[in-house]
Structure 1
Amino acid sequence: MYGNGARLYDYLMEDEAPYRQWLAWTLTHLEGMNVSAPAIADVGCGTGTLMSMLLTRGYDVQGIDDSQEMLAVADEKIRAHNNIAPHLRRQHMSYLQLEKQVDVIIVFCDALNYLADETEVKQAFRAFYDHLTPGGRLLFDVHSFSSMQHHFPGRTYGDAGTDVSMILNSFSDDDVPGAVEHEMTFFERLSNGDYRRFDELHRQRTFSVADYEQWLQASGFEQIEITADFTKQPPQADSERICFSAGKP
């Protein structure tokens, strides 16, 4: 969960996060639904970039995140870009409590990978199911097991800007398959020219495609579509991002 790093997130992720691909994938599913004005819950909305894109296109979207700092950035961004007061609330996705059911729930940008264990994922799926209207749809993506095992462990990433810099080191958790830890060190330039340092530790975990599919089915979801890396192709051994679409009957 992002703390102080929330206000630097957009700057650091400007060229990293595939917002256009998430948007296109979401719009494809929205256009295929027989709902004239679908209500959307963006769970794990972060700084509200995708939420702002959907609001710009006239969709009714509310944002949920467990980080108050991320929500503060989202509120400021959407007020500035969309000229509205956004509907935002702080909640853990495993204990989702919406005022009413929505037609679509989206959970992108690895948000589901922040759940600690199988129990939290199952709780989240049940909560998503309960808060969808009949015929509603859940859309989410996760890091693949391959990425967690081979791409992230041992990775070092640096972004050295004039005003903001970050160093990220990723490590595998040998005791927990599919889990990685990201040590993040931020340097922020102050108005007097000095730099302020702060550190965050982020832990992510993924599960097999079969596990996610089984837990979705156990929660009541049907018409489960599983693809990889924003294509129409099924996941392969070297796929990096697994995309799920699941319907509530």
Structure 2
Amino acid sequence: MDGNGARLYDYLMEDEAPYHQWLAWTIAHLEEMKFSAPAIADVGCGTGTLMSMLLSRGYDVQGIDYSQEMLAVADEKIRAYNNVAPDLRAQHMSYLQLEKQVDAIIVFCDALNYLADEAEVKQAFRAFYDHLTPGGRLLFDVHSLSNMNHHFPGRTYGDAATDVSLILNSFSVDDVPGAVEHEMTFFERLSNGDYRRFDELHRQRTFSVADYEQWLQAAGFEQIEITADFTKQPPQADSERIFFSIRKT
């Protein structure tokens, strides 16, 4: 997402995305670890909303995202809200390179769904495993296949604030199972009253629960807990988000 899109999407969606639910789910699992001060890597941190929430609660968090523009928004936000200079790094999650291992890696808000294919997901899982301390946790969620195949295709979404509007249209991708494309059109009101339009295209892809579980095991993970939609219940046919809590032994 470019600089304009990152800034405006964050402005429109900060109250729409379930950040407080991601926060509660993350903290509940961090507390289970009983580490006195867990070091956390927020991979795919985007504009830093969840990272900022964790920092405000005293957690040691570094942010990783492939988009320099997203990180620029995160840096500005965290400096303003948390009064600290955040530890932010521009990296592709499949080729993660941290200075030292961390106690938890979190990957939320569709971040893993931006990986293009099976090979990138497998490489990301191996990178996550290598960068976790023994006993550390990998926490992430992905869109379900049901969500990708039935909910998104043909969907039109609109959101408007005083000076910014967004129209989002979603389409399935021919010959790529579990993939969708989101066409995003932004309108930003300028100081002279005119509007500026710009467009972005985002592709996301997901895989079956069984695929993710198999690839996690191949990366070396053994203790894998799979639930759905911020609950403790296992995924159902109509579940929207699949949650994974994995402990490195």
Give the Cα–Cα distance (whole angstroms) in 2 for the partners of residues 29 and 221 of structure 1. 17
CA drift at 1:118: 0.1
Matched-pair contact (CA < 8 Å) for 2:12–2:160: no
- Deviates most, 11-20 or 181-190: 11-20
**Structure 2: gaps spanning 5 or more residues:** none
Q: Secondary structure in 2 aligned to 1:32?
A: helix
The answer for the alignment partner of 1:25 in structure 2 is: 25
Matches within 5 A, 1:172-211: 172-211=172-211
Q: Secondary structure in 2 aligned to 1:5?
A: helix
The answer for the alignment partner of 1:241 in structure 2 is: 241
Q: Secondary structure in 1 aligned to 2:133?
A: strand
Q: Which amino acid aligns with 1:206?
A: T
| TM-score (norm. length: structure 2) | 0.98
Q: Which amino acid aligns with 1:143?
A: H
The answer for the alignment partner of 1:43 in structure 2 is: 43
Matches within 5 A, 1:73-152: 73-152=73-152
Q: Which amino acid aligns with 2:121?
A: V
CA drift at 1:162: 2.7
The answer for the alignment partner of 1:167 in structure 2 is: 167
Q: Which amino acid aligns with 2:82?
A: N
Deviations 1:60-98 (A, max 9, x none): 000000111110010001001110000001000001000
Matched-pair contact (CA < 8 Å) for 1:153–1:171: yes
**Structure 1: gaps spanning 5 or more residues:** none
Matched-pair contact (CA < 8 Å) for 1:41–1:62: yes
Give the Cα–Cα distance (whole angstroms) in 1 for the partners of residues 190 and 68 of structure 2. 23
Give the Cα–Cα distance (whole angstroms) in 2 for the partners of residues 91 and 238 of structure 1. 34
Give the Cα–Cα distance (whole angstroms) in 2 for the partners of residues 15 and 27 of structure 1. 20
Matched-pair contact (CA < 8 Å) for 1:38–1:104: yes
Q: Which amino acid aligns with 1:236?
A: Q
Matched-pair contact (CA < 8 Å) for 2:12–2:161: no
Q: Which amino acid aligns with 2:70?
A: M
Deviations 1:186-231 (A, max 9, x none): 0111111111111000000000000000000000012100000000
Summarize the Cα distance change of 1:2–1:153 in structure 2 as closer, same or farther, 3 Å threshold: farther
Matched-pair contact (CA < 8 Å) for 1:3–1:67: no
Matched-pair contact (CA < 8 Å) for 2:65–2:93: yes
| TM-score (norm. length: structure 1) | 0.98
Q: Secondary structure in 2 aligned to 1:236?
A: coil
What's the C-alpha RMSD, in Å, of the aligned pairs?
0.9
**Aligned structure 1 segments of 4 or more residues deviating by more than 6 angstroms:** none
Give the Cα–Cα distance (whole angstroms) in 2 for the partners of residues 161 and 241 of structure 1. 27
Q: Percent identity?
A: 90
Matches within 5 A, 1:40-79: 40-79=40-79
Summarize the Cα distance change of 1:152–1:2 in structure 2 as closer, same or farther, 3 Å threshold: farther
CA drift at 1:159: 1.5
